[in-house]
Amino acid sequence: MNYTLVAVCSGGFKMTHHAVRTRIESLAETRTRLVLPSLMAVAALLAGDLALAQDDGQLEEIVVTARKRTENLQDVPLSITAISAVDLERASVYALDDLAEITPGLTYQSIGAFNTPTIRGLSQTSQSGLQGNVGVFIDGIFLNNRSTLEFGVLDLERIEVVKGPQGALYGRNTFAGAINYVTRSPSTDGINGRLTAEVGNEGRWEIGGSVNFPLGENAAVRVFAATSEFDGTITNARGGDKLGGYNERTSYGASLIFDPSENLSVKLFAARTEVDEDQPPLILVPVARNDCGATYNLPDGRVFNSLYCSGLQAGDAPNLNALGKGQVGDFTLAYLNVEYDIGFATLTVNISDSESEYSTLVDNVSNPVAETLPLGPLGFSAQFFTNSAGDVAEQQSYEVRLASNDDGPLGWLIGGSVFNTLTGSVLSSVSTLLDNPSELGRISFVPNRLDTDVNAVFGSASYAFDDRNRVSAEIRYTEEDQFLERTVMIFFIPNFPTSVTSAASEFSYTTPRLTYEYAWNDDTLLYASAARGVKSGGTNGAAFADTPYADYLEESNWTYEVGIKTSILDGRGVFNAVVYSVDWTDLQIPAPPDLQIGTAIVNAAGATSTGIEIDTRINVTDNFTIGAAVTWLNPEFDSGTVDAAISPLCGDRAVIPPTVACSTEVGGQQLPRTSDFQVYVGGTYTWPNLIGGFDAYVRVDTSHQAGKYSLSLNQQDQGDINLTNVRIGLESESYEIALWAENVFDEEYNDRVTVTTDPAAGFACAGCGITVARFYPGNTRTFGLRGTWRF
């Protein structure tokens, strides 16, 4: 039964892999040919099995807190994917890229140590910017460093992915949506806990656990800790070691609840995570193989193209210096939550403090002899490494809100928040020394420090006219004060003066949401909403003072959606669907200004993203559950949008005019690093009490993600990603042992592809913007054995 389901999906994915992927007009026909056979096969499967279903096999209710209160997922008029701890483990979801595999509408890539989740095609146009388009939270506490977004081995109860702007209640940096990691809370029900241990191929191991202790009738504490290690699966041609793994991912912490009275509840939480990752498996393609973009005929007879648009060839492999490192650093979070029931309403106070620090050391040369070649007069070699990370961040936040308790037709919430943060990023280079290749010296160090003070007031109100019709409104007013300091230090040029510049800016904006709900019946909710998302503007620093590039404006979007949430088959299944349209204006993009004094952020015309999201989950029988989700979207630049960031590689600034050029007018082009089609299908079959009181189960999860373009030119396609994971286990009330495999068919794919300017080509053709492509292959097949003891 499970085999039939997976075979259908695998075939569908192959059809998409060979289909021509253009825009949504042509997607309709091509993608319909893909999806309809799969849906028909699933429908046939259901038709054959539903007769076996028992009346008591209803789906378990999923509870979420996306609107700052506890609600049934099916009652919330938002597009939300909520994944329980059990499903996270059984689907092998241990990182944001894993989460994106099973959450259509969510994609993920990173650059350096900057994690970049994307929701509904609203991609991060400034890849190393300090602010992201998707807010990531732990128990509703915002994570202000883009290098801290991974959840790794946290002790989680569930993850909620909320799609669409959430600025009205969540605040800043939820321009496209929000991801909330909900941790397990202590309980007064008794001593309980769990211990887990895992071993796998490629040096993978993990050990962790959590214990809950009641402290009398009114208090309890929960402690947790876990650590893991993994070598990676991609072989480094220089030395034969594996790349892409990690030497350490560790998380530990504790939470305490205390209920001194029926009306008062207090929770304290503190956690720390530490990571030490290998450098990513980077493959640099020589510029001599560039085959697209602008074309240049050099006076010496050589011909160069500015971009590479083909795939990897046989023999292409990482060839990296062993001194490189991936993301290394730590993150600490503590918060206090107090709730007091005053009868007609509940008063909530949240206070949090966090700090983090990260660095990387990535080989950007991939040349075995680079450490023997001189760079400048001070003893540096041409073997240099780049550190691009959120190197430091500190944050204090304070929130007070009052929410009504009345079950009557009117519900309301009011609140205010203060948010103080120091966010840093760094772009620096180091090099091995000619006389000692094992020693590193600084070439350059360029840190940015952004101090931000944010004050906001917010509120919501909903009114039920009758049992079927409800209208709700949410709004937040925000004021921001920013102070940016940028330091530039160059070490390989003798006596180069250190430059320190600073600039201040202020912004204020409003983010509303209006929703109409109609309960068609007890099982079906129809809703329509309009919401505004805003990402604040900023300053480009004192170097751009008195120029048109001094500041950049807020970017905003209006998202309109119509959706349905319904319980089907007498509670044995759910079916949810939403159609949305996003109007994105004043899009912030990095651009090399005419001043030629650095890179600034500027506002472009805008973009539009329209799409459809469908998800369903069904208990076919008491022993067989399937889930499926699909999304089509069309994220494209508006007509007249100019992406000045690609002007160098299109030949706009070249000393030698290109024989073939490209255009910086990108209207109608797909937004970079977005996937316009995703499918996920998963199923679990259980054999109750198969042996010795143990249930046996098999779970299969398979996903498809259409290829992404690296740039707005839409010439370099990163390729589709088709992955299947399998888990086979035995489980009793106290014990579980499971054999798992990820990427079970050993598919080759690109985790991401980026481009960077090639310095050597720049000397040969000044201003030509000739780039070198950097491919990051994804992990090959991995497998392991995991054991769990619950007590």
- Give 463-508 pLDDT, tens digit per residue: 999 999 999 999 999 999 999 888 888 887 888 888 888 888 899 9
Q: Residues 562-574: what's their mean pLDDT? A: 95
The amino acid at residue 438 is: S
Taking a C-beta distance cutoff of 8 angstroms, is the pair 228, 302 a contact? no
The confidence score (pLDDT) of residue 150 equals 75
What CATH number did the domain enclosing 384 receive?
A: 2.40.170.20
Dump pLDDT digits (tens) for 331-347.
999 999 999 999 999 99
State how far Cα 573 lies from the chain centre: 28
The amino acid at residue 776 is: Y
**Is 70 exceeded by the pLDDT of residue 772?**
yes
Residue 247 to residue 254: CA distance in whole angstroms = 24
Taking a C-beta distance cutoff of 8 angstroms, is the pair 291, 308 a contact? yes
Taking a C-beta distance cutoff of 8 angstroms, is the pair 458, 416 a contact? yes
Looking at the chain, how many residues does it have? 791
Closest to 131 in 3D by CA, of 380, 350, 365, 423: 423
Mean pLDDT of the chain: 87
**Of 62-66, 71-75, 513-517, which range is least confident?**
62-66
Name the domain count of the chain: 1
Taking a C-beta distance cutoff of 8 angstroms, is the pair 325, 279 a contact? yes
More confident: 402 or 143? 402
The confidence score (pLDDT) of residue 27 equals 39
- Kindly state the percentage of the chain with pLDDT values over 70: 91
Dump pLDDT digits (tens) for 181-208.
999 999 999 999 999 999 999 999 999 9
Taking a C-beta distance cutoff of 8 angstroms, is the pair 584, 606 a contact? yes
Taking a C-beta distance cutoff of 8 angstroms, is the pair 617, 59 a contact? yes
2-18 vs 24-49: helix crossing angle, rounded to 10: 170
Q: Residues 305-332: what's their mean pLDDT? A: 92
The confidence score (pLDDT) of residue 19 equals 38
More confident: 656 or 460? 460
The confidence score (pLDDT) of residue 24 equals 36
What secondary structure does DSSP assign to 522-567, as a single string? TTEEEEEEEEEEEE--EE--GGGTTSTTSEE--EEEEEEEEEEEEE
Domain ranges, residue 557: 2-790
112 falls in which pLDDT band (50, 70, 90)? low
Dump pLDDT digits (tens) for 593-642.
554 456 788 888 899 999 999 999 999 999 999 999 999 999 999 999 98
The confidence score (pLDDT) of residue 23 equals 38
Q: Residues 227-244: what's their mean pLDDT? A: 95
More confident: 405 or 70? 405
